[in-house]
Amino acid sequence: MVKLDPQEYARRRRQLMDLMSPNSIAIIPSAPVTVRNRDVEHPFRQDSDFYYLSGFAEEHAALVLIPGREHGEYVIFCQEKIKEQEIWTGRRVGPEAAPEVLGADDAFPVTDIDDILPGLIEGKDRIYASLGVSPDFDRQLMQWVNHIKTQVRNGATPPHEFSALDHLLHEMRLIKSPAEVAVMQAAADISAEAHMRAMQMVKPGMMEYQLEAEIMRTFMAAGSRWPAYPSIVGAGDNACILHYTQNNQMIADGDLILIDAGCELDYYASDITRTFPANGRFSDEQRALYQLVLDSQYAAIAEVKAGNHWNQPHEAAVKVLVTGLIELGLLEGTVEENIESLAYRQFYMHKTGHWLGMDVHDVGEYRIDGEWRIQEPGMVMTVEPGLYIAPDDDSVDAKWRGIGIRIEDDVVVTKTGCHVLTSGIVKEIADIERVIAG
């Protein structure tokens, strides 16, 4: 399985510390453990920022960066190795092995954090943290600072500034390194295989969740433990529900099936949507709308290039969609009028993409000083136009109703244009029909 080299995490920590102001400290807690029901917990998934800097997947931990600290700039607080506990909950790295395994300069038991961390904070001018994300962490951080304040008469100096760590760290995460793109390519390849398997096994009379099960089987067989997000398998009218995840209806003859599913690999997401006919043949109306969405996606992908702004792919997709909807009689008036009035949002109500990375809707600003940000090499985004004709939309001819289509690929900006990570899954009408036919 493709994984990042430990030096990648060290490089990121160094880059972040170089961006921090002098005499400062950054504190990043691990993700909280969440209860599913009673004494059963949800599978633990590490906080993306924490993992981005450490590659450490254990819960109940904290990462501290202190640029210029004489005794080591990278400090980890983690759970101790206690044999009796490991029998129940699994093996731990432990503070003793953390320097070798994680590259930490110092490591302490997380149970000692209240005794040790105030001493690391004391005397620093600024704390970098992601405030407002975890109320429990916010309270704990203020307790540490307030403890220092109680020692002012003894010469202690509390920090006088708090800065949003997100501003620095999320801009770093927005630009992917070649190593990150390689992991994302591997995730995309696995997801493409899963979508192909769904096309190959579909037939009317199946349940939506049976296709979902095949997708999950393919993910896990290839080394991905989890989907990057809950899979959408919507047949017929369900394809018109953007975040449909019940996946519990029977697939009927004549249905289009919209599958939005992607695996996560070494904490990097993929995100693919394909739409195809359950019986292997598009109807005339399905074919017309599908080809329109596909044409709009090609137009959008052509606008993914360094120097263009973020919204140009969306603008290109909308223009193609509106033109086609007018030609099909689903919209009236000129292209310009329909775009200006947003009339097309009756059938296309979302943006054409989002950032992609460790989170499926990844971090990074879309505007800078009120202007759409400029695309740069290393940015990864989805390109996912769609059309959704509601089953109860009596403003259109009945033949169009209940058709939902979305086509989504993962695209990385390069120096010379872009590269589609998810090209391993077919999307031309003839190719889809051929795959389903076997």
Question: Which of 45, 309, 350, 401 does the annotation list as catalytic?
Answer: 350
Catalytic residue at 39? yes
* One-letter identity of residue 287: R
Catalytic residue at 195? no
Catalytic residue at 80? no
Catalytic residue at 354? yes
Question: Which of 18, 36, 39, 139 does the annotation list as catalytic?
Answer: 39
Catalytic residue at 266? no
Question: Which of 180, 212, 237, 408 does the annotation list as catalytic?
Answer: 408
The whole-angstrom separation of Cα 155 and Cα 141 is 20
Question: Which of 49, 180, 193, 271 does the annotation list as catalytic?
Answer: 271
Alpha helices, DSSP H, located in 90-207 = 94-102, 113-121, 135-149, 165-174, 178-201
The whole-angstrom separation of Cα 2 and Cα 438 is 31
Bridge partners of 380, per DSSP, are: 412
Question: Which of 243, 284, 369, 392 does the annotation list as catalytic?
Answer: 243
Catalytic residue at 105? no
Question: In terms of Cα–Cα distance, which of 63, 175, 70 is closest to 129?
Answer: 63
**Residue 193 three-state SS:** helix
CB 326 within 8 A of CB 335: yes
Question: Which of 122, 189, 208, 260 does the annotation list as catalytic?
Answer: 260
What are phi and psi for residue 375, nearest 5 degrees? -70, 140
The whole-angstrom separation of Cα 386 and Cα 402 is 13
Question: Which of 388, 409, 410, 433 does the annotation list as catalytic?
Answer: 388
Instruction: Write the DSSP symbol of residue 219.
Output: H
Question: Which of 361, 365, 366, 428 does the annotation list as catalytic?
Answer: 361
Catalytic residue at 126? no
Catalytic residue at 406? yes
Q: Tokens at residue 314, please?
A: 């969306």
Catalytic residue at 408? yes
Question: Which of 92, 170, 173, 406 does the annotation list as catalytic?
Answer: 406
Catalytic residue at 114? no
Question: Which of 60, 354, 401, 419 does the annotation list as catalytic?
Answer: 354
Catalytic residue at 367? no
The whole-angstrom separation of Cα 229 and Cα 212 is 12
Question: Which of 212, 384, 409, 410 does the annotation list as catalytic?
Answer: 384
Which residues does the annotation mark as catalytic?
39, 243, 260, 271, 350, 354, 361, 384, 388, 406, 408
